[in-house]
Amino acid sequence: MSQSVRIGILGDFNPEFPSHHATNAALQHAANKLNLEVRSEWIPTPSLTTNAEKILEAFDGLWASPGSPYKSFDGMLKGIESARRRDWPFLGTCGGFQYALIEFARNVLGIADADSAENNSGSKNIVIYPVACAVPNRNGDAPKLSGKVPEIRLRPGSYLQSFYGKDKEVVTEEFFCNFEINPDFEWTTMEAGFPVVARGAQGEIRAIESPTHRFFIATLFQPQLSSTEKNPHPVVLAFVQTAYDWSRKKLDDSVLE
């Protein structure tokens, strides 16, 4: 029997987005390294507004992709909520990171109108706002956090650090985003049970994780952009391995029932 793992990618695939192609490629890089077959499928956010759990139970791991604003704000939140509540292996990158924080604020902490400034909702609780230390986009568009950003400091002893290597304290990662967490709402990450595990040079939040979930990590940076066939990204490798292990556990449990 083939060793395979099923990954659901929460998001609205756009062939014009390099990060979407990179997401597909990074999964394959990890699969080849682990000698697994990855069966991935993009799940449009509007499809998750109803019966999200039923749709997502077919997968072994869920990746909330870049690409905000999504076609369905509520659909993306429901997908993330399902992963969090059911302890499904979860990775959120860029927009997926941003929406994970909004989901925590709304559904764990009860901040019903928690939102992103990108949505222009008029909410008083803007958890996600424009990046404070933006750099000019290489194409001359509006400033954003883009390209390789060094000095991302990992929290010692975190799961995230363990994926890079226990002696690794500073890493360089690829960014391409306009929004990050509003520092006034940093308290929500710890209060919701998702401590900060990576910070930028000025203390900006770059990643969070759950110490109690099977695998729940969200990063503002996009690990898929620096993954290659020869060097799969360690975070994606860890995610795919955990999803595969979870698939085996589910299979074993079903046999015992």
22-65: pLDDT as tens digits: 999 999 999 999 999 999 999 999 999 999 999 999 999 999 99
Inter-residue contact 222 to 175 (CB < 8 Å): yes
CATH number for the domain harbouring residue 132: 3.40.50.880
Q: At what angle do helices 73-86 and 95-107 cross, to 10 degrees?
A: 70
Q: Which residues constitute the domain of residue 174?
A: 4-256
pLDDT for 136 equals: 44
Instruction: Band the pLDDT of 233: cuts 50, 70, 90.
Output: very high
The amino acid that residue 104 corresponds to is F
The amino acid that residue 241 corresponds to is Q
Instruction: Band the pLDDT of 255: cuts 50, 70, 90.
Output: low
Inter-residue contact 114 to 102 (CB < 8 Å): yes
Q: What single string gives the DSSP state of each residue in 32-93?
A: HHHT-EEEEEEE-GGGGSSSHHHHHTT-SEEEE-S-PSPS-HHHHHHHHHHHHHHT--EEEE
Q: How far is CA 95 from CA 22, 32, 52, 123, 172, in A?
A: 15, 26, 19, 19, 19
Q: What is the pTM of this model?
A: 0.92
Residue 129 — φ and ψ, nearest 5°? -140, 170
pLDDT for 146 equals: 65
* H or E element that contains 112: none
Rounded to whole angstroms, how far apart are CA atoms 221 and 192? 21
The amino acid that residue 156 corresponds to is P
| DSSP-based three-state secondary structure for 27 | helix
CA dihedral for 78, 104, 227, 12, sign (positive or negative):
positive
Q: At what angle do helices 234-256 and 18-34 cross, to 10 degrees?
A: 60
For residue range 170-213, what is the model confidence (pLDDT) as tens digits?
999 998 888 999 999 999 999 999 999 999 988 999 999 999 99
pLDDT for 139 equals: 45
Q: How many domains does the structure of the chain reveal?
A: 1
Residue 256 has pLDDT above 80, yes or no: no
